[in-house]
Amino acid sequence: MTDYLLYLAIGVFVALGTTSAIVVLYPPKRVMSSMMIIAVMVIAPLFLYNPVLNSLGYPVKITEKTTAKFLAYSVSPDSLWIYLWTNDKDAGEPRAYRIPYSKEDEEELAKAEKEKGKGIPQQVEMGPEAPEGHDSSEGVLNFEPLPDGGGAK
């Protein structure tokens, strides 16, 4: 996924550079087409900002329901964030997530870390939707042992 985003970003910037060189060397005869080319050249990098930022390895916010293998976690020194590392089942790559701190989530993570220490790989289900009785609308975590014992990729 990261290689794809890198090639996409390089391709867009090469296309924008080529387009801007053509516009400077051979300006269009109509003002409207010049304005459209300039608008595309200004707006296109804005659409690449989030995908490129997400591919850099910084922890990302959980935006959809995800199930992954739990690897590790840590709490920020000011107790505002929990940083969670998982191994994504679909991509097979580790991912870092940042979720708002809650005492309940920290307790769940501590239990999962303890079970993982006993040799029982843990599966974490994360999502923006809160289960019944949970106050937070973000950073909802649910742990259970991996169905295959962690042997499958």
DSSP states along 36-72 = HHHHHHHHHHHHHHHHHHHTTT--B---S-EEEEEEE
pLDDT digits (tens, 9 = 90+) for 38-85: 787 778 777 777 777 666 666 777 767 778 888 899 998 998 888 888
Per-residue DSSP letter, 73:
E
Q: 72 with 103: CB under 8 angstroms? A: no
66-145 CATH, one of 1.20.120, 3.90.1570, 1.10.3470, 2.40.50: 2.40.50
Domain residues of the chain, as ranges? 2-54, 66-145
pLDDT, average across residues 12-17: 80
> Does the reported pTM lie above 0.75?
no
pLDDT, average across residues 11-16: 80
At 2 the pLDDT is: 57
pLDDT over 70 percentage in the chain? 76
pLDDT digits (tens, 9 = 90+) for 132-146: 444 444 446 777 777
